[in-house]
Amino acid sequence: MQEQGSRQNAGLSGTAAFAMGCFWGPEALFGSLPGVLRTVTGYAGGTSPDPDYRRMGDHSETVQLEYDPSVISYRELLDLFWSSHNPANINGYKDRQYQSIVFWSGREQLEAIREKLSGLALEGKPVPDTEIAEAAEFWVAEERHQKHALKRFPDAVSKLDFLFPSRKEWEASTLAARLNGLAKGYTNRQRILEEIDGWELAEGRKRLYAAALKEIRW
């Protein structure tokens, strides 16, 4: 069964992509947020063909999100991006692997980025050493890099394997995004339970999710 997660306005979701160091933590951070529907780690920002973790070339570790703008805005995502890492500390480390980059898609996102940077300048704050790049091809990372924090807990993985037809489907689910955030300490069980109650899912499916969440041994 394909999970619809917390999507409230089908067809009106947005996509955002950020590079901010190792992609494991950012995937968990953004995945913990109400309004974020899907998360996936991958490689972007470079020109090297067919990158993977051992042959990344000039790409950077990136997290891509699908989000519901009626619940969380792109500006809120931008604020979290810049408040959650220090670009100056990562640039040049391991070449471009841990580069700080915000990838924009569409005029509205680009204007939001420019407004944020202008606001910092007006406040007398330094402009972040972050690359601003138009979103281009995104290469999905290997399975072991998806929901990395969550996969450290075998019981959670076992319960998701039971709830979903395939590993690929649960990795792309809203539920797994939240549990990955929980595994990293960015959210809590009660908050997720309350959110599940409002998801556009059959009541039986909600009960299955809630029961699994309550029973997971962390």
User: DSSP labels for 18-39?
Assistant: EEESSSHHHHHHHHTSTTEEEE
For 141, the token pair is 């990372």
Alpha helices in the chain (DSSP H): 24-31, 74-83, 87-90, 107-122, 154-163, 167-171, 174-183, 189-196, 203-215
* Residue 22 designated active-site: yes
DSSP 183: H
Which of 8, 15, 22, 133 is labelled catalytic?
22
Buried b (16+ CB within 10 A) or exposed e, 153-178: beebbebbeebbeebeebbbbbbbbb
- CA-nearest of 191, 187, 186, 151 to 167 is 151
Tell me the catalytic residues.
Answer: 22
